[in-house]
Structures are given as C-alpha cells and as structure tokens.
Amino acid sequence: MVTKGVGHPVRTYLYPMQLKFLLDYTDSPLWANDPVAEKTFGYHVADLEGLGLRPETVALLNAVTRLYQNRLNPVYQGFPSFWSGQMFVAFQHLVKQAYEQVVQELGDRFEVKNGELALTTETIHVEKIDADLQAFLADPALFAREHGVVFGSVEELKREVAAAYRLWSLRAPYGMTI
C-alpha cells in the first residue's frame, strides 16, 4: 500500500516501523530500529524526505546535526566545548523541537524512540559551564595536566587554544559565546 508523503510517495506497512532518533557524527539523526526499517531505509536513514518529512523539518534536522558536530573542541576532543551555557540550552531546545516534529510528522507510520532522552531532559547549569569554559580558556595547560592530556609547551597550547577559540567565535551563532 502506498500513501502520499510530503512530495514523495511513502510506503505504508501493516504495523509501524521503528526508528531511533540519535545524534552522531553523520548527516542524519535517524536510524533504523527494526529489521523492516533497516531493509527499507538502511541502518542509517539518510533520505529524510523519503520518510515524508516536511522540508522545514529536514532543515531543522540538518541544523541540529551540524550543531552537534560543532560542539567538540577543535583543538582536542577531550577539552571542554567552546559552547557557552546558553548555547547548550539553545541546542537542547532545538533537539527537543526536532524530535517532537519528527514524531508528529511521521505519525502512526513509525514509532520513533528518543535516543537523546538524557540530553533533552537534563538540567543545564549555564553558570557552571560558562565558568568552566572561562577557566579552561585562561589556563588550558592546567586543564590538560589535571586530565592527563599530553601537550608540547604551555605557551604553544595557550596560543593554539586562543586561536581556535577566536576562529570558533567568528562562526558561533550570535550571542552564543561567553
């Protein structure tokens, strides 16, 4: 049986297929969560329009995915993110919105498990995040030593972190730096 999706025909099955909403360093946060969905879309669901999602929702999912990929520290992934506390709050809101839109638009055709439940429900301590980031930016070598991160010279590390933060700040959404 075939029903109309948003701009694409969408196959309808007798029972809902299962998907998982889970952010990863890929181009989509949707994954097959049962054999029928995997056979139909592949393990990683890249064709979001083929699911019948609206273009606005696909754009939101793409934005959330890009933001997620941007949250890691570009100098060393084990260092704190350059995101401010408000950036984490904004991201949490966008992830919730994206998940809810996917569930609403896919309706009864899919069951969508929220693999980001912890992210979408955790309390974000804005002031602590900002203070920790300021402390890291002021003395990245101290953070590195306390966390067993090997680096060259203290001055080289400070320059590298400062340069990366300046570059990151130029691309950060308005008002999302500390």
Q: How confident is the model at residue 2 (pLDDT cuts 50, 70, 90)?
A: very low
Judge residue 98's burial from the number of C-beta atoms within 10 Å of its C-beta, 0-12 exposed, 13-18 middle, 19 or more buried. buried
Residue 4 reports pLDDT greater than 60: no
Average pLDDT, the chain: 89
H/E segment holding residue 159: helix 154-171
162 vs 142: CA distance, rounded Å: 15
Query: Tell me: the pLDDT tens digits for 23-48?
Result: 998 889 999 999 999 999 999 999 99
Q: Which residues are within 8 A (CB) of 134 and not within 5 positions of it... i.e. 6 or more apart?
A: 178
Residue 173 reports pLDDT greater than 90: no
96 vs 75: CA distance, rounded Å: 29
Backbone angles phi, psi at 31, to 5 degrees: -135, 145
Stretch 54-68: mean pLDDT, rounded?
A: 94
Question: Which pTM does this prediction carry?
Answer: 0.84
